[in-house]
A and B are shown apart, each in its own frame.
Chain A
């Protein structure tokens, strides 16, 4: 009768690079293999292999996906708990394992582990602590012991220079949310059995949806410790265990504190998401009856002049007419008073980049905008200037200049802030790319404060009136 053999949660052969289709890439005497076996055995016993996803880290165990016959995501350095959280949100029933080393979890990924633990995510984290960066060749890790010689602490780690070894189990235990925190060791056969039990308990907790479990496992790294495998196990017991006490820090798994709310987000179809954002309009056939010149617009002014809204309305007019449009805002940190500009592209073709470096239409609502962009306008382009506040004239002769006192006109209507609408309406009338009535249609939908719809509609009338008298 076979009593102990290779778990069925492992692949039969490992399709990895390098020699041997049956052996791991781990060095002789490494702790990872044993931990892999304990995890695989627990998966077998809990019968969850087919719904398990292992998040493999960066480090020696990055290749866990060669061995575990489960789902796998190879995460960025230290980010396994964040990736696992995302998976938890969409797969309620998945058994998600974060398998991380000390460089990965305690060094690079401290943020992710602490917040995943604090959220009490229903995850299981196995933290393999061998007090050194193994894969990269034995540099100091946050868990490296005082006096321990590594590549980067050639005379031994010191408090003054490197700080103290980090106790991850202690840190996680200081957080209220986790259900289960234990530190175990691979020092002796007896301790390996305790590790086996802890690993199974941590997975059992997840199966029962109890919350966050972390098992820190003290493991040897004979190669980087520069020891024989047997000597490394001895050193592990004599040096690592006194610094990182092997004990159970917390076990609330008997208390039935199932996650109070389901972390799974309700599934939304693409259609529903578009509906939610109010953009689920039928895609119109791109207007082709007349050929239009692609408009590369820079709508520029100072913050508060409404250049962003002006740009949005312009883009909305374009899409309403079945043209393609992009709108890209650019502004400083100030809500009012800084400089601001919006880049708008309107085209019958697909638009690659929304960036406008060289516009063929410049709308300058103030003097600095004209200074900044006048030279960049394409030859043959158009510059519209708010002549109420911009006194200078355009120096170039290869562009069409349109001067409109939009701020004065807006004041006449009764709201100086409506200057942007007058400017936009004038642009529509001058360029003839889009119909002015499209703006009348789009404007009420695009303005958030509905009490300003009427006065803005009057701005459009004013622009039309001025255009007929002075510009046509």
Chain B
């Protein structure tokens, strides 16, 4: 399944990814990270791995987008 891996401690909670996601896969949670922000969280099966959140995010390494490798699954 496609997913977005968020390095929680790198998120500054600006919400740009949350608003930009066309499938509403992201939200700002209640937990506060190491640098003091309520960080974004990913919780959805709708992700298309489009990468919009990655490009909107101003942090250099906060977001990694992982696309399901269907071929790899098939070969298994």
Contacts and interface: CB of A to CB of B under 8 A. Distances in A.
Interface residues of A, number: 36
A33 B55 CA distance: 10
Given A23-B62, A67-B60, A196-B55, 13 more contacts: A1-B72, A2-B65, A3-B65, A6-B61, A6-B64, A7-B60, A23-B59, A24-B58, A24-B59, A30-B58, A38-B55, A189-B52, A230-B16
A2 B66 contact: yes
Contact of A5 (B9, B10, B15, B65): B65
B20 interface: yes
26 contacts: A2-B65, A3-B49, A3-B51, A3-B67, A4-B54, A7-B60, A10-B60, A10-B61, A20-B9, A24-B59, A28-B12, A28-B13, A29-B16, A29-B58, A31-B58, A33-B60, A34-B58, A37-B57, A67-B60, A189-B20, A193-B55, A196-B55, A229-B14, A229-B15, A230-B14, A230-B19
A33 B59 contact: yes
A173 B22 CA distance: 36
Contacts of A32: 58
Secondary structure class of chain B's binding surface, majority of residues:
loop
B42 interface: no
A37 B10 CA distance: 15
Nearest to A6: B61
A22 B55 contact: no
A23 B64 contact: no
B51 A4 contact: yes
A333 interface: no
A19 interface: yes
B10 to A, nearest CB: 5
Interface residues of B, number: 33
Contacts of B54: 4-5, 37
B15 A37 contact: no
A4 B51 CA distance: 7
Interface of B: 7, 9-10, 12-16, 19-20, 34-35, 37, 49, 51-52, 54-69, 72
A271 B3 CA distance: 62
A311 B62 CA distance: 68
A2 B59 CA distance: 17
Given A23-B12, A28-B12, A4 B58 contact: no
